[in-house]
């Protein structure tokens, strides 16, 4: 895996970026590290989405032999062929474009270096490969007719993964993957979408929980506040009573205390009941009913054809005022005489299709002053 580094990487033909430290000499401080540290993405993310980077005190760049003692800001990154080297080496070697890996000779690019997450690079490699495989081999149990075929599929996935990790028959394995991808393109896409949806669902769930927690916290704070006020009031009360009445002081104090206790009890019990109910109703509802798409008109009024056509103009003496409205007062108010015409016409024809009633109901007794 790791050949001893050959000498040709030390040829002085590469142009150094300004400020990048060579590392085998103690340059004067401050050292400017790589200018490209932000470019290196990738790596294994933890649950919170951060990339935790592995580094140890005995890190040594296998290429330039610089170590933490010489360069406290040493940062090792991992190449696509799983060889480590320090940022300054990467800058030096790959700034001018793809170049061979100084250790194994594979052609590498600068952007393909990733931060190291695990101490053992074998693990690093396996994680990356498994991740890549999982992206495409994402069939689920539901996609298979029986458990047996599902197990066969899992077996095959594991075979492919093993081959890739241990560099066995790489071209052959890659061909298998490509064939699988061709055959199952639609299903892969579908499963990706399913997965996305599930992620979204999880996120929503999380958000809802967070809001609930906030609400509860708010409620608690409020209650605390109330209680504090209550106590302060109570103290004032006792003092007031002691001042004004001539009864036994001890008795008065005892009675006030008892009152306060009862009040506090009632308060806490009622608020917890209300709280619990609120939460229950919100969560219970959100699980059951789905949101409904909007339907513009939810009744069948417009399914009937109008039995009339509105003309542009009518010989209507009543609307003279509107027509004579030179200043546009009616227009500025949004009044339209066409609406009045439409109303008149609609009222006139609306009942045409309705059959006459058989016998009169006594609906007209609703008139209040009758």
Q: How far is the CB of 255 from another protein (least distance, A)?
A: 10
Nearer residue to another protein within complex by CB, 126 or 342: 342
CB of 150 to another protein, least distance (A): 35
Closer to another protein by Cβ: residue 171 or 351: 351
| Residue listed under structure tokens 């997450």 | 117
Count how many residues are written for the chain. Answer: 370
Token duo for residue 297: 């008109």
Q: Give me the residues paired with residue 60 across strands.
A: 67
> Interface mask (CB under 8 A) for another protein, residues 198-237, using x and -?
-------------x---x--xx---x--x----------x
Residues 91 and 75: their CA atoms lie apart, in Å, by 12
With respect to another protein, which residue has the nearer C-beta, 14 or 260? Answer: 260
Nearer CB in complex with another protein: 155/320: 320
User: What is the chain's Cα-based Rg?
Assistant: 40
Q: How far is CA 292 from CA 204, 221, 295, 328, in A?
A: 18, 37, 9, 44
- The footprint of another protein on residues 164-193 (CB under 8 A) is none
* CA separation for the pair 155, 11 (Å, rounded): 48
Interface region with another protein, contact rule CB under 8 A, candidates 6-14, 63-71, 129-137, 262-270? 262-270
Q: How many Å separate Cα 146 from the centre of its chain?
A: 35
- Judged by beta carbon, residue 119 or residue 204, the one nearer another protein is 204
Report yes or no: 101 and 108 within 8 Å, Cβ to Cβ: yes
The count of chain residues that interact with another protein, using the rule CB under 8 A, is: 60
- Does position 129 interact with another protein (CB under 8 A)? The reply is no
Taking CB under 8 A as the criterion, the residue among 332, 352, 355, 357 binding another protein is 332
Cβ burial, residue 367 (10 Å; 0-12/13-18/19+) = exposed
Enumerate residues 87-106 that contact another protein by CB under 8 A.
Answer: none
292 part of the interface to another protein, by CB under 8 A: yes
Distance in angstroms (rounded) separating the CA atoms of residues 336 and 356? 34
Q: Which residue has the tokens 């075929």?
A: 149
Position 238 contacts another protein (CB under 8 A): no
Binding to another protein by residue 369, rule CB under 8 A? yes
- Give yes or no for residue 294 binding another protein (CB under 8 A): yes
Interface residues for another protein in 265-284 (CB under 8 A)?
Answer: 266-267, 269-271, 273-275, 277-278, 282
Smallest gap from Cβ 339 to another protein, in A, equals 6
For 176-198, the DSSP string reads HHHHHHHHTHHHHHHHHHHHHHH
Residue 46 is encoded by which pair of tokens? 């933890």
Q: What span, in angstroms and rounded, lies between the C-alpha atoms of 222 and 218?
A: 6
Phi, psi of 11 (to 5 degrees): -55, 135
CB of 191 to another protein, least distance (A): 23
List 30, 182, 243, 301, residue binding another protein (CB under 8 A)? 301
In the complex, least distance from residue 292 CB atom to another protein, rounded to whole angstroms:
6
If binding is defined by CB under 8 A, does position 321 make contact with another protein? yes
Q: Does 131 bind another protein (CB under 8 A)?
A: no
Rounded distance between C-alpha atoms, residue 57 and residue 76, angstroms:
12
Query: CA–CA distance from 165 to each of 43, 54, 115 (Å)?
Result: 17, 21, 19
Can you tell me which of 285, 303, 358, 361 binds another protein, judged by CB under 8 A? 285
Q: How far is the CB of 295 from another protein (least distance, A)?
A: 9
Q: Which is nearer to another protein, 202 or 274 (CB)?
A: 274
- Rounded CA-CA distance 247/56 in Å is 78
Tell whether residue 312 is a contact of another protein (CB under 8 A).
Answer: no
Where would I find the beta strands (DSSP E) of 25-89? 76-78, 84-86
Eight-state DSSP code of residue 351 = T
> Which residues make up the interface to another protein (CB under 8 A)?
211, 215, 218-219, 223, 226, 237, 259, 262-263, 266-267, 269-271, 273-275, 277-278, 282, 285-286, 289-294, 296-299, 301, 316, 318-322, 327-337, 339-340, 343, 362, 365-366, 368-370
């Amino acid at each position: 895996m790791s050949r001893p580094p050959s000498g040709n990487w030390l040829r002085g033909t590469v142009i150094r970026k300004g400020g990048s430290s060579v590392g085998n000499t103690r340059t004067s401080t401050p050292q400017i590290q790589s200018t490209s540290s932000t470019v290196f993405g990738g790596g294994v993310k933890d649950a919170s989405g951060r990339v935790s980077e592995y580094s140890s005190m005995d890190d040594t760049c296998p290429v330039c032999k610089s170590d933490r003692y010489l360069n406290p800001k040493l940062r090792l990154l991992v190449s696509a062929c799983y060889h480590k080297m320090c940022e300054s080496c990467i800058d030096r070697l790959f700034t001018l474009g793809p170049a061979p890996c100084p250790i194994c000779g594979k052609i590498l690019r600068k952007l393909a270096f990733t931060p190291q997450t695990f101490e053992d690079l074998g693990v690093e490699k396996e994680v990356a490969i498994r991740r890549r495989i999982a992206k495409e081999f994402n069939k689920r149990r539901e996609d298979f007719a029986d458990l047996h075929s599902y197990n066969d599929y899992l077996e095959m996935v594991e075979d492919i993964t093993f081959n890739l990790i241990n560099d066995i028959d790489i071209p052959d394995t890659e061909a298998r993957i490509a064939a699988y991808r061709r055959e199952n393109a639609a299903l892969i896409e579908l499963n990706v979408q399913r997965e996305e949806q599930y992620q979204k669902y999880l996120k929503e769930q999380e958000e809802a929980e967070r809001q609930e927690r906030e609400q509860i916290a708010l409620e608690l704070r409020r209650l605390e506040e109330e209680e504090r006020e209550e106590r302060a009031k109570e103290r004032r009360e006792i003092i007031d009573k002691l001042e004004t009445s001539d009864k036994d002081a001890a008795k008065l104090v005892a009675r006030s205390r008892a009152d306060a206790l009862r009040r506090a009890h009632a308060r806490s019990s009622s608020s917890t009941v209300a709280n619990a109910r609120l939460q229950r109703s919100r969560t219970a509802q959100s699980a059951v009913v789905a949101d409904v798409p909007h339907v513009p008109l939810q009744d069948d009024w417009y399914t009937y054809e109008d039995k009339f056509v509105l003309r542009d103009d009518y010989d209507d003496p009543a609307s003279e005022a509107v027509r004579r409205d030179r200043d546009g007062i009616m227009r500025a108010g949004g009044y339209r005489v066409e609406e009045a015409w439409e109303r008149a016409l609609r009222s006139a024809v609306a009942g045409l299709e309705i059959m006459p009633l058989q016998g009169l109901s006594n609906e007209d007794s609703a008139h209040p002053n009758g």
